[in-house]
């Protein structure tokens, strides 16, 4: 019900919302939970295991019970805590984990079965017959388990990421955080004040204490107004700092638009902030913990502080009569506040025999709540009085206070381990906190308002002092300074179930069973019973559970310890963590210089690492990609083709020692390469395995251009810089990656030279004599455009690679095509490139897979033993040089029209298809239009001794088994006459 | 993590590529007698300490310096950052 | 005590008074025939098979904290045998076969769920590589299936088929792969070993090895010296630290791998999926949480926690693959320390010290190996010979040039 006055809600505006298929009214400032309570709705959810009816236990982000599915379609958000959903007009939420309805849930049958469904019962049964687990037991369990559901539609909203830097990050805008912000903000430091709530002020908004001469919430509002004027201070409401990472970096999520029906145009739903801090002050407050007693989970039973918050902040009472059950003085505040707001308090039950009295209600000192009633909501409680008598009390709400736990989570994200403090019966921050972090206020165990204000100011000043910034501590306003008076009391003894973890339905009995079965370490307790593993990660339950375990083992709570606090502090949407790196923007897309031209030609593209490359260029009438690729290969081999090879890595190597340097990088010799010549080079890793291959062109005595494969461009450059800086730091050599600086085209085919002669400026002679195979030169083309020309061939044809500065790349491809019309110049894509290199027997990525050696590749003799090059020594190890080592071979099917599957394994005919007979595997396969046959490359044990043998390429995976003949890998022009023509 | 680059100041560790133990600087002489054993130890064996660790990071998204970072593998605290080239020279590496 | 549905019912009717501790809490004996250092999955499995298979009963497992607290208690629960290389595939297939009969064998429901694992394919080259791998699996007696994009779509219609940076072109499926309730594996082995007389000694930290004349005589511990005929070390993550006490340097670096779980959801993911163009793999637990992970953080670490960039990278991979994940919330992130070996494959071998045996280097693939690792290590400890499926996991393979490098990344552990 809604109280007639009070609350930080805008009563002048009414908004409508829908829950469980009914419309209700609320006000701006409400949460879904407060608005439902104001409408007399206490039942908001069902528990995980027993499907018990539940209402909110808390009024904040620690809520285990009141979880709903918010919104619908792609925006459906399961497990959303009604206690933090900011009400907006038109909000729709549905109950979850209940069928057919929230008030009648068929799976509540589990509650009747609870004697069987104890902690860990499933480890002891469902084992027979074995096959029934997947088919019967598990599907039933899975359907019953889970909480909310997602639709599988894509999330339509955007998420942003951002970086923030500050001197001081203050986490939590309660009294200590506000005072800290005031201190640091006035001192001129760069300050961020972040709070998870949409209304800053922390508990001040939920309390009735005065600060100075005004209500605490008014003081908070006034302080925030001043802070908002400070240009050096950033206020971040709706922002949860969820993790403390290394070196002062904090992760935070700002809920930018969650309080609106949909994000406004151009706004994200949420923003992930990475906050780089010099110092951090944790002012995260404390969370109240319940007491376990029989049937303590009915809707209407909540923490005393939640009850107080609903009444004070939202003017919402769960019922017209309430009671309070406490073991500490703070519970008395709840009773007093309820009375002050006109809510009838039936009784104040205090476990302490010496509890102080209170005006306006009956104090039952030394009493305990031993039972409750009410199927879908609390109707009454049974109290055992100090004298042993029991009394039944009618009430629709019960506030429970078992004391407060400082919110230490962030202090433990690195090496901090909290320590037990008997004086407040709680864990407080201890051990190695994240470097740069200090703690103030209730989070530190300082529970009075005065201590929070004073601590916030002092700790902020101290943090700034560390940074060399002098801060004047503001005058402290007057505030209550009541001592913490608590007598620890964890659970009421009895036979009935008493809940510790409300969401996961872990009761005191379960902890006892865990103890009985030896699961006594806190981590065993957690894992065996699921205590603290729910969506609230044990914020309300862990303390009670480990206290019960301590009682059972006879150890102290300090000895028992806590489980690990891990990020995130509260759950974080995956969308926020991913930001905009989704869909087509998952990773950057690199386009080649000819991309736009290729697109105009109707090319199909393929992802090659980050690059998009033209795969083939279909023409009208071609029915399959094979038609296209076959044509491209034939045209290239018959006349001339052109292919964009810009993606190959290019590294410029300069300096007096450039040749000596490359001589150590490549396993084959480079010292004597003449200027104007190119050489094929093979790089090994230091472990002797082939790393990458490519060419190095010597443009001048002290200048080389190295090419790498597309895939390894980055790794090779890194490797060469390592060698340059770390291994041979005094060599006179400089490296720069020029992959993006040059557009490069392969021009291949018998007419390649004729075509090139139309492009190259007349001053340069590229005749076969003047510019033979493996020549290179810097020259100009098209009337003065600077260019580099390399006579190298991947296709096996007379071929060149022509490079121009990238900005001319688009113009060059158009010019090549125009000048080549008379030769029928044909653009070809990566597929035809692949076919031609297989026909020629060149190794590529499938062969250079990081597992093969020069020996495997048929280049064993290239590894020079005359010099010290990277990888040479370890390439000589016995295991890499066995007589049956794999060798690269060519493979031809006995029937030319039967495909050889890449990835097939090679076996002798007539053997069983088992690993014992495995002789090797097929690496690359294609249809060769030149040979009118399928062909393949592969690695075969002692392959060089098996030429002409008939084997089979078996691919049981694809149901193929192809008789093949072992041949040389050089299918086309093995003598290399074409490329020298 | 944040790495205080000796030339560029604080940089996010995300700009860097990690390689491992800085002893990889101490590459043996490949032409020396018995270099196979030395290379095995060099390439494969690691102290792998729980505590202070000198390690190589490459500023791939930055100035392409290799750095030797002294970092604690228990706390991740970084206490020293040097240019690997300087370290290599100090350890007697030259050409 | 034998567990069964009948027993559960009986206890339910009699107030659960009959349940006994799942393992004893004995005091250390002065001497054991075999001492296993490390009460994680592998150590407990080793003890179990030593007792059950090799009839060694004077065995102790010593653990510095609580059992099952290492990587068996902090992994992403996947089992599979989809390896490529001869050195690995027979071993992992042996392991998968042991998983298939494990629960009946040790009378504990570890929820071995063969829901299938699917490695997605995003390029032709990847299809070739996966074809080779699938064939290698079949040649070794494992199951494998190559799926087209359409077939993948039938089971996982909600993956990103329309708007992806790296389109899904198919997948390599292993239907016998799946997930297991990880903690229960440790408890089941502990229970089975304990029932066969193995002493499980928790809160007992090894402080050194007593080695005389090249022979290991036992271990010094926080609870005193324990003499042993043989000592087997199975402390992956901390192998270098422990073996340094025996004066050994290992081909291993310690790295942190993070893992994640979402809030509980009604069933959405039927099996295990692995993104082939980013770092993301995921399954859904019986409780409903999506359990997922990605790449290691990439720097040496003994801190059981990682950093934000990897969390973001994994979320990006998840969203790229499964665009409906946006509103699913990450509930918990944690870290485990991996023994990253120099070729990405494990070591189960003698050491140069007589009587000291080593099991480690599991990288981030140790969980699925638990049964076979235990069996093979037990075989080695009991018979002093390598198990036929684990002959390649030798410590000297790097000297001999016989690396088992599935990924082809070479001697850089953080790339495996």
Q: Is residue B8 in some structural domain?
A: yes
Q: Do B36 and A721 touch (CB under 8 A)?
A: no
Identify whether the C-beta of residue A226 lies closer than 8 Å to the C-beta of residue A260. no
Per residue in A684-693, pLDDT tens?
A: 999 999 999 9
Q: Do B20 and C412 touch (CB under 8 A)?
A: yes
Hey, which residues 287-326 in chain C have their CB within 8 Å of chain A?
287-288, 303, 305, 307-308, 311-312, 314-320, 323-326
- 3-state SS string for A347-411: EEEECCCCCCCCCCCCEEECCEEEEEECCCCCCEEEEECCCCCEEEEECCEEEEECCEEECCHHH
Q: How far apart are CA A614 and CA A611, in angstroms?
A: 10
Identify whether the C-beta of residue A940 lies closer than 8 Å to the C-beta of residue A946. yes
Q: Do B14 and C252 touch (CB under 8 A)?
A: no
CA distance C58 to chain A (A): 22
State how far the alpha carbon of A776 is from the alpha carbons of A700, A792, C21, in Å: 10, 9, 79
Total number of domains constituting chain B:
1
Identify whether the C-beta of residue A116 lies closer than 8 Å to the C-beta of residue C8. yes
Identify whether the C-beta of residue A388 lies closer than 8 Å to the C-beta of residue A218. no
Q: How far apart are CA A210 and CA A296, in angstroms?
A: 33
Average pLDDT (A159-171) is: 98
Rg, Å, chain A Cα set: 38
The architecture of the domain spanning A159-286+406-466 is 3-Layer(bba) Sandwich (3.50)
Place of tokens 């001592």: A483
Q: Which of C8, C116, C201, C326 to mutate to test the interface with A (most CBs of A within 10 A)?
A: C326
Per DSSP, the three-state class of C219 is strand
The token pair that represents A490 in the structure block? 């964890």
Instruction: For residue C263, list chain A residues with Cβ-Cβ distance below 8 A.
Output: 78-79, 147-148, 535, 571
Instruction: For residue B93, list chain A residues with Cβ-Cβ distance below 8 A.
Output: 726-730
Instruction: For residue B43, list chain C residues with Cβ-Cβ distance below 8 A.
Output: 342, 398, 411
Average pLDDT (A304-316) is: 98
In this model, does residue A63 exceed pLDDT 90?
Answer: yes
CA distance B90 to chain A (A): 10
The answer to whether A65 faces chain B, any CB pair under 8 Å, is no
Q: Do C307 and B45 touch (CB under 8 A)?
A: no
Q: Do B46 and C240 touch (CB under 8 A)?
A: yes
State how far the alpha carbon of A876 is from the alpha carbons of A691, A846, A853, A873, C402, in Å: 16, 23, 10, 6, 12
- pLDDT-based confidence at A656, cuts 50/70/90? very high
Q: Do A685 and C411 touch (CB under 8 A)?
A: yes
Instruction: For residue A956, list chain C residues with Cβ-Cβ distance below 8 A.
Output: 135, 138-139
User: Closest chain C residue to A904 measured between Cα atoms?
Assistant: C132
Closest C-alpha among A488, A445, A491, A486 to residue A328: A486
The answer to whether A877 faces chain B, any CB pair under 8 Å, is yes
- pLDDT-based confidence at A144, cuts 50/70/90? confident
Q: How far apart are CA A302 and CA A37, in angstroms?
A: 12
The answer to whether C129 faces chain A, any CB pair under 8 Å, is yes
Is the CATH number of domain A871-967 2.40.30.110? yes
Place of tokens 């009648």: A104
Q: How far apart are CA A364 and CA A349, in angstroms?
A: 5
Q: Are strands A826-827 and A641-644 parallel, antiparallel or unpaired?
A: parallel
The answer to whether C53 faces chain B, any CB pair under 8 Å, is no
In this model, does residue A131 exceed pLDDT 90?
Answer: no
Q: Please state whether the peptide bond connecting residue A129 to the residue before it is cis, i.e. omega within 30 degrees of 0.
A: yes
Q: Is residue B85 in some structural domain?
A: yes
Q: How far apart are CA A581 and CA A504, in angstroms?
A: 34
Q: Which of C244, C300, C412 sits opposite B73 (nearest CB)?
A: C300
pLDDT tens digits for chain B (95 residues)? 999 999 999 999 999 999 999 999 999 999 999 999 999 999 999 999 999 999 999 999 999 999 999 999 999 999 999 999 999 999 999 99
Per residue in C157-203, pLDDT tens?
A: 999 998 999 999 999 999 999 999 999 999 999 999 999 999 999 99
Question: What is the CATH classification number for the domain harbouring B57?
Answer: 3.30.2270.10
Q: Is residue B95 in some structural domain?
A: no
Closest C-alpha among C71, B2, C250 to residue A165: B2
Q: Which of B1, B27, B35 sits opposite A727 (nearest CB)?
A: B27
In this model, does residue A570 exceed pLDDT 90?
Answer: yes
Instruction: Quote the domain boundaries for residue B53.
Output: 2-27+36-90
The token pair that represents B15 in the structure block? 């700009």
Place of tokens 């485990």: C336
CA torsion through residues A623, A624, A628, A633, sign: negative
Q: Do C301 and B76 touch (CB under 8 A)?
A: yes
Instruction: For residue A560, list chain C residues with Cβ-Cβ distance below 8 A.
Output: none
CA distance B74 to chain A (A): 9
Q: Do A118 and C16 touch (CB under 8 A)?
A: yes
In this prediction, residue A250 carries a pLDDT of 98
DSSP assignment of A143-200 equals HHS--B---SSPP-S-EEEEEEEEEEEEE--SHHHHHHHHHHHHTT--EEEE-SSSS-
| Residue A397: half-sphere exposure toward Cβ, Cα within 13 Å | 31
User: Closest chain B residue to A868 measured between Cα atoms?
Assistant: B30
**Which option is the CATH number for A15-121: 1.10.3720.10, 3.10.20.440, 3.40.50.410, 3.20.20.370?**
3.10.20.440
In this prediction, residue A299 carries a pLDDT of 98
Intervals of chain C under pLDDT 70: none
Average pLDDT, chain A: 97
Q: Which of A248, A249, A722 sits opposite B66 (nearest CB)?
A: A722
Closest C-alpha among A792, A768, A790 to residue A699: A790
Q: Which of B17, B84, B94 sits opposite A718 (nearest CB)?
A: B17
* CA A936, chain centre distance (Å): 41
Q: Do C163 and A127 touch (CB under 8 A)?
A: no
Q: Please state whether the peptide bond connecting residue A100 to the residue before it is cis, i.e. omega within 30 degrees of 0.
A: yes
CA distance B90 to chain C (A): 24
The answer to whether B15 faces chain C, any CB pair under 8 Å, is no
Average pLDDT (A540-553) is: 97
Q: Which of B40, B48, B71 sits opposite C399 (nearest CB)?
A: B40
Q: Do C249 and B47 touch (CB under 8 A)?
A: yes
Instruction: For chain B, give the number of residues.
Output: 95
- pLDDT-based confidence at A130, cuts 50/70/90? confident
Hey, which residues 263-322 in chain A have their CB within 8 Å of chain B?
276
In this model, does residue A481 exceed pLDDT 90?
Answer: yes
Domains annotated on chain C, with CATH? 26-81+84-107+182-252+343-415 (3.50.50.60), 117-179+253-335 (3.30.9.10)
The full set of domain ranges for chain A reads 15-121, 159-286+406-466, 649-737, 871-967
Average pLDDT (A853-864) is: 96
The token pair that represents C62 in the structure block? 């010593």
Instruction: For residue C238, list chain B residues with Cβ-Cβ distance below 8 A.
Output: 50
Instruction: For residue A671, list chain B residues with Cβ-Cβ distance below 8 A.
Output: none
Average pLDDT (A288-309) is: 98
The answer to whether C222 faces chain B, any CB pair under 8 Å, is no
* CA A585, chain centre distance (Å): 16
State how far the alpha carbon of A854 is from the alpha carbons of A706, A851, A871, A872, A885, in Å: 19, 10, 11, 10, 11
β partners of residue C265:
A148
Hey, which chains touch A, using 3+ CB pairs under 8 Å?
A: B, C
Q: Which residues lie closer than 8 Å to A663 by C-beta, 6 or more apart?
A: A669, A670, A671, A867, A869
In this prediction, residue A473 carries a pLDDT of 85
**Residue C16: count of CB within 10 angstroms of its CB:** 21
Average pLDDT (A469-495) is: 94
Average pLDDT (A422-449) is: 97
The answer to whether A431 faces chain B, any CB pair under 8 Å, is no
Q: How far apart are CA A45 and CA A66, in angstroms?
A: 5
The answer to whether B53 faces chain C, any CB pair under 8 Å, is yes
Query: What is the 8-class DSSP label of residue C250?
Result: B
Q: Which residues lie closer than 8 Å to C232 by C-beta, 6 or more apart?
A: C34, C35, C36, C37, C43, C46, C357, C358, C359, C377, C380, C381
Identify whether the C-beta of residue A660 lies closer than 8 Å to the C-beta of residue A731. yes
- Reading phi first (left if > 0) and then psi (alpha if -120 to 50, else beta), residue A403 is in left
Per residue in A580-604, pLDDT tens?
A: 999 999 999 999 999 999 999 999 9
Q: Do C325 and A134 touch (CB under 8 A)?
A: no
Closest C-alpha among A591, A627, A623 to residue A606: A591
Average pLDDT (A182-209) is: 97
Hey, which chains touch B, using 3+ CB pairs under 8 Å?
A: A, C
**Which option is the CATH number for A649-737: 3.30.70.1400, 3.40.640.10, 3.30.565.10, 3.40.50.11260?**
3.30.70.1400
The token pair that represents A200 in the structure block? 């800053």
Q: Which residues lie closer than 8 Å to A544 by C-beta, 6 or more apart?
A: A289, A290, A291, A292, A402, A490, A491, A500
Q: Is residue B41 in some structural domain?
A: yes
Instruction: For residue C298, list chain B residues with Cβ-Cβ distance below 8 A.
Output: 18
Residue percentage of chain A with pLDDT more than 90: 97
State how far the alpha carbon of A119 is from the alpha carbons of A515, A528, A660, in Å: 11, 7, 70
Q: Do C303 and B21 touch (CB under 8 A)?
A: no
- Reading phi first (left if > 0) and then psi (alpha if -120 to 50, else beta), residue C324 is in alpha
CA distance C213 to chain A (A): 31
Instruction: For residue A655, list chain B residues with Cβ-Cβ distance below 8 A.
Output: none
Hey, which residues 130-159 in chain C have their CB within 8 Å of chain A?
130-136, 138-141, 144-146, 157-158
Q: Are strands C329-341 and C206-212 parallel, antiparallel or unpaired?
A: unpaired
Q: Do B35 and A873 touch (CB under 8 A)?
A: yes
Alpha helices (runs of H) in C64-166, residue ranges in sequence order: 89-106, 124-139, 149-155
User: Closest chain C residue to B76 measured between Cα atoms?
Assistant: C301
Q: Is residue B81 in some structural domain?
A: yes
Pairs of residues, one from chain B and one from chain C, whose beta carbons lie less than 8 Å apart: 66
The token pair that represents A540 in the structure block? 């309300």
Average pLDDT (A27-55) is: 97
Place of tokens 């930018």: A256
Q: Which of A649, A725, A731 to mutate to test the interface with B (most CBs of B within 10 A)?
A: A725
Rg, Å, chain B Cα set: 14
């Amino acid at each position: 019900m809604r109280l007639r006055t009070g609350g930080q809600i805008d009563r002048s505006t009414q908004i409508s919302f829908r829950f469980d298929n009914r419309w209700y009214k609320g006000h701006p400032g409400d949460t879904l939970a407060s608005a439902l309570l104001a409408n007399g709705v206490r039942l908001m959810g069902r528990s995980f295991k027993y499907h018990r009816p539940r209402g909110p236990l808390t009024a904040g982000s620690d809520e285990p019970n009141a979880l709903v599915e918010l919104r619908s379609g792609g925006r459906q958000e399961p497990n959303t805590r009604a206690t933090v959903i900011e009400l907006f007009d038109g909000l729709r939420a549905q109950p979850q984990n209940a069928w057919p309805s929230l008030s009648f849930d068929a799976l509540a049958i589990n509650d009747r079965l609870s004697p069987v469904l104890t902690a860990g019962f499933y480890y002891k049964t469902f084992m027979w017959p074995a096959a029934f687990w997947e088919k019967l037991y598990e599907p039933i369990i899975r359907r019953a388990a889970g909480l909310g559901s997602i639709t599988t539609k894509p999330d339509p909203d955007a998420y942003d990421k951002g970086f923030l830097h500050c001197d001081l990050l203050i986490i939590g805008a309660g009294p200590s955080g506000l005072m800290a912000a005031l201190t640091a903000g006035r001192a001129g430091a760069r300050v961020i004040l972040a709070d998870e709530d949409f209304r800053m002020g922390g508990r001040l908004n939920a309390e009735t204490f005065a600060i100075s001469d005004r209500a605490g919430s008014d003081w908070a509002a006034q302080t925030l107004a001043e802070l908002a004027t400070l240009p050096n201070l950033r206020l971040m409401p709706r922002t949860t700092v969820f993790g403390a990472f290394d070196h002062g970096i904090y992760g935070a999520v700002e809920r930018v638009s969650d309080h609106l029906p949909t994000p406004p145009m151009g706004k994200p739903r949420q923003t992930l902030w990475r906050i780089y801090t010099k110092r951090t002050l944790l002012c995260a407050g404390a969370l109240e913990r319940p007491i376990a007693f029989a049937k303590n989970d009915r809707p209407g039973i909540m923490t005393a502080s939640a009850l107080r918050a609903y009444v004070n902040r939202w003017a919402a009472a769960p019922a017209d009569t309430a009671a309070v059950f406490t073991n500490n003085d703070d519970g008395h505040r709840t009773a007093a506040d309820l009375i002050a707001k006109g809510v009838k308090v039936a009784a104040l039950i205090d476990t302490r025999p010496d509890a102080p009295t209170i005006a306006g209600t009956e104090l039952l000192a030394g009493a305990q709540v031993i039972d409750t009633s009410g199927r879908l909501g609390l109707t009454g409680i049974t109290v055992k009085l100090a004298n042993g008598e029991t009394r039944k009390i009618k009430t629709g709400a019960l506030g429970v206070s078992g004391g407060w736990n400082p919110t230490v989570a962030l202090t433990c994200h690195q090496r901090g381990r909290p320590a037990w403090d008997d004086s407040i019966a709680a864990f407080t921050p201890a051990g190695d906190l994240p470097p740069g972090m200090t703690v103030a206020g209730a989070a530190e165990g300082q529970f009075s308002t005065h201590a929070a204000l004073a601590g916030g100011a002092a700790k902020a000043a101290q943090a700034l002092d560390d940074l060399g910034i002098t801060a004047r501590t503001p005058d402290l306003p007057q505030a209550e300074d009541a001592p913490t008076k608590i007598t620890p009391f964890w659970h009421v003894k009895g036979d009935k179930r008493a809940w510790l973890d409300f969401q996961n339905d872990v009761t005191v009995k379960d902890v006892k069973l865990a103890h009985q079965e030896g699961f006594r370490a806190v981590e065993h307790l957690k894992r065996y019973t699921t205590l603290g593993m729910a969506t609230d990660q044990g914020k309300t339950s862990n303390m009670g559970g480990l206290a019960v375990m301590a009682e059972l083992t006879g150890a102290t709570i300090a000895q028992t310890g806590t489980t690990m606090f891990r990020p995130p502090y509260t759950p974080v949407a995956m969308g926020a963590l991913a930001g905009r790196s989704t869909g087509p923007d998952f990773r950057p897309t690199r386009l080649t210089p000819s991309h736009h031209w290729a697109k105009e030609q109707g090319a199909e593209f393929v992802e090659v690492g980050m690059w998009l490359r033209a795969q083939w260029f279909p023409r009208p009438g071609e029915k399959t990609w094979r038609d296209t690729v076959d044509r491209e290969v034939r045209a290239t081999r018959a006349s001339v083709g052109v292919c964009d090879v810009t993606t190959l890595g290019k590294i410029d190597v300069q300096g007096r020692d450039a040749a000596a340097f490359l001589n150590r990088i490549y396993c084959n010799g480079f010292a004597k390469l003449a200027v104007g010549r190119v050489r094929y080079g093979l790089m090994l890793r230091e472990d002797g395995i082939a790393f990458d291959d490519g060419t190095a062109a010597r443009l001048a005595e002290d200048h080389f251009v190295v090419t790498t494969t597309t895939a390894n461009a980055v790794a090779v450059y890194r490797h060469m810089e390592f060698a340059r800086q770390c291994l041979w730091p005094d060599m006179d050599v400089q490296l720069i990656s020029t992959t993006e600086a040059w557009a490069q085209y392969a021009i291949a085919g018998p007419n390649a030279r004729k075509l090139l002669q139309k492009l190259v400026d007349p001053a340069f002679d590229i005749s076969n004599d003047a510019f033979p195979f493996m020549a290179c030169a810097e020259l100009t083309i098209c009337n003065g455009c600077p260019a580099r020309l390399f006579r190298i061939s991947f296709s096996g044809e007379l071929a060149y690679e022509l490079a121009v500065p990238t900005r001319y790349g688009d113009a060059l491809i158009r010019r090549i095509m125009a000048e080549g019309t008379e030769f029928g110049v044909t653009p070809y894509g990566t597929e035809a490139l692949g076919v031609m290199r297989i026909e020629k027997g060149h190794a590529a990525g499938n062969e250079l897979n990081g597992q093969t050696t020069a020996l495997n590749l048929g280049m064993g003799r290239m590894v020079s033993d005359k010099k010290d090059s990277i990888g040479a020594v370890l390439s000589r190890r016995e295991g890499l040089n066995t007589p049956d080592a794999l060798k690269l071979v060519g493979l031809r099917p006995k029937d030319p029209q039967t495909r050889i599957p890449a990835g097939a394994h090679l076996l002798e005919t007539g053997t069983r298809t088992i690993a014992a007979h495995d002789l090797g595997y097929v690496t690359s396969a294609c249809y060769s239009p030149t040979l009118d046959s399928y062909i393949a490359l592969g690695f075969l044990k002692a392959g060089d001794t098996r030429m002409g043998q008939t084997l089979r390429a078996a691919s049981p995976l694809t149901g193929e088994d192809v008789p093949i003949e072992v041949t040389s890998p050089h299918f086309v022009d093995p003598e290399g006459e074409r490329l020298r023509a | 993590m944040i790495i205080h680059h000796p030339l560029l100041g604080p940089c996010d560790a995300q700009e860097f590529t990690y390689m491992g133990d800085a002893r990889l600087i101490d590459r043996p002489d490949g032409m020396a007698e018995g270099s196979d054993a030395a290379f095995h130890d060099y390439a494969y064996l690691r102290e792998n300490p729980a505590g202070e660790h000198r390690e190589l990071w490459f500023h791939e998204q930055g100035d392409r310096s290799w750095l030797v970072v002294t970092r604690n593998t228990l706390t991740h605290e970084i206490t020293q950052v040097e240019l690997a080239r300087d370290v290599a020279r100090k350890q007697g590496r030259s050409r | 005590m034998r567990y069964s549905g009948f027993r559960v019912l009986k206890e339910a009717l009699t107030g659960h008074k009959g349940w006994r501790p799942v393992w004893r809490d004995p005091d250390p004996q002065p001497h054991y025939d075999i001492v296993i250092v490390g009460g994680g999955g592998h150590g407990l499995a080793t003890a179990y098979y030593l007792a059950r298979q090799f009839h060694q009963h004077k065995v102790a497992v010593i653990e510095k904290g609580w059992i099952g607290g290492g990587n068996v208690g902090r992994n992403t629960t996947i089992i599979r045998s989809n390896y490529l290389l001869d050195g690995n595939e027979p071993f992992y297939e042996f392991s998968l076969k042991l998983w298939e009969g494990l629960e009946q064998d040790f009378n504990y429901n570890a929820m071995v769920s063969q829901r299938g694992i699917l490695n997605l394919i995003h390029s032709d080259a990847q299809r070739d590589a996966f074809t080779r791998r699938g064939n290698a699996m079949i040649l070794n007696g494992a199951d494998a299936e190559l799926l087209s994009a359409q077939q993948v779509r039938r089971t996982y219609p909600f993956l990103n088929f329309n708007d992806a940076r790296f389109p899904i072109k198919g997948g390599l499926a292993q239907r016998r792969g799946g997930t297991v309730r990880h903690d229960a594996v440790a408890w089941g082995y502990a229970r089975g070993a304990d029932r066969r007389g193995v002493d499980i000694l928790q809160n007992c930290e090894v402080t050194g090895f007593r080695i005389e004349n090249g022979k290991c005589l036992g271990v010094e511990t926080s609870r005193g010296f324990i003499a042993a005929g043989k000592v087997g070390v199975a402390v992956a993550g901390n192998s270098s630290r422990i073996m340094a006490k025996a004066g050994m340097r290992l081909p291993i670096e310690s790295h942190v791998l993070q893992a994640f779980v979402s809030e509980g959801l009604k069933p959405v993911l039927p099996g295990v999926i692995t993104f082939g163009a980013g770092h993301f793999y995921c399954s859904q637990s019986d409780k409903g949480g999506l359990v997922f992970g990605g790449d290691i953080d990439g720097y040496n670490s003994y801190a059981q926690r990682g950093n934000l960039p990897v969390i973001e990278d994994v979320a990006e991979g998840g969203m790229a693959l499964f665009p409906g994940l946006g509103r699913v919330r990450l509930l918990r992130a944690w870290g485990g320390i991996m023994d990253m070996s120099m070729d990405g494959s494990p070591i189960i071998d003698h050491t140069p010290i007589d009587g000291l045996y080593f099991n480690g280097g599991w990288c981030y693939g140790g969980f699925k190996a638990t049964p076979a690792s235990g069996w093979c290590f037990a075989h080695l400890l009991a018979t002093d010979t390598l198990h036929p499926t684990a002959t390649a996991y030798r410590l000297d393979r790097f000297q001999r040039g016989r690396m088992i490098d599935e990924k082809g990344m070479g001697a850089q552990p953080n790339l495996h």
